[in-house]
Amino acid sequence: EADIYQTPRYLVIGTGKKITLECSQTMGHDKMYWYQQDPGMELHLIHYSYGVNSTEKGDLSSESTVSRIRTEHFPLTLESARPSHTSQYLCASTSGYGYTFGSGTRLTVV
């Protein structure tokens, strides 16, 4: 059973709406990540965090923002959703031995 939880699993939303994708882990991991993955395509790192109050942008430029106020919580926010944001968003964490991934949020912006 996954120790990292993402909600919602699926989201269909209209252009211009503000959305927050939730990610929580119960393992006490300091390092957390957000990846973006289009169907059948590579994982692209868009944000990561070393710990509370630490956030950095990843390799792929993204209009989203993240926050890390608590160790267990790493939400991703899009202030104004666009169809180009349609993708799967995967959250992950690590204690230093591989990653544990959530099941992902599949976002569709119409």
Partner 1 sequence: QKEVEQDPGPLSVPEGAIVSLNCTYSNSAFQYFMWYRQYSRKGPELLMYTYSSGNKEDGRFTAQVDKSSKYISLFIRDSQPSDSATYLCAPSTNAGGTSYGKLTFGQGTILTVHP
| Site residues, partner 1 (CB under 8 A) | 2, 6, 31, 33, 40-43, 45, 48, 50, 56, 58, 90-92, 94-104, 106
The sheet with strand 76-78 has its strands ordered as 4-7, 19-25, 76-78, 65-66
> Is 81 in a helix, a strand, or coil?
coil
Cβ 79 to partner 1, closest distance in Å? Answer: 25
Q: Which is nearer to partner 1, 54 or 80 (CB)?
A: 54
Cβ 94 to partner 1, closest distance in Å? Answer: 5
Q: Which is nearer to partner 1, 18 or 31 (CB)?
A: 31
Distance between CA 73 and CA 60 in Å, rounded? 22
For residue 47, the cross-strand partners are: 34, 57
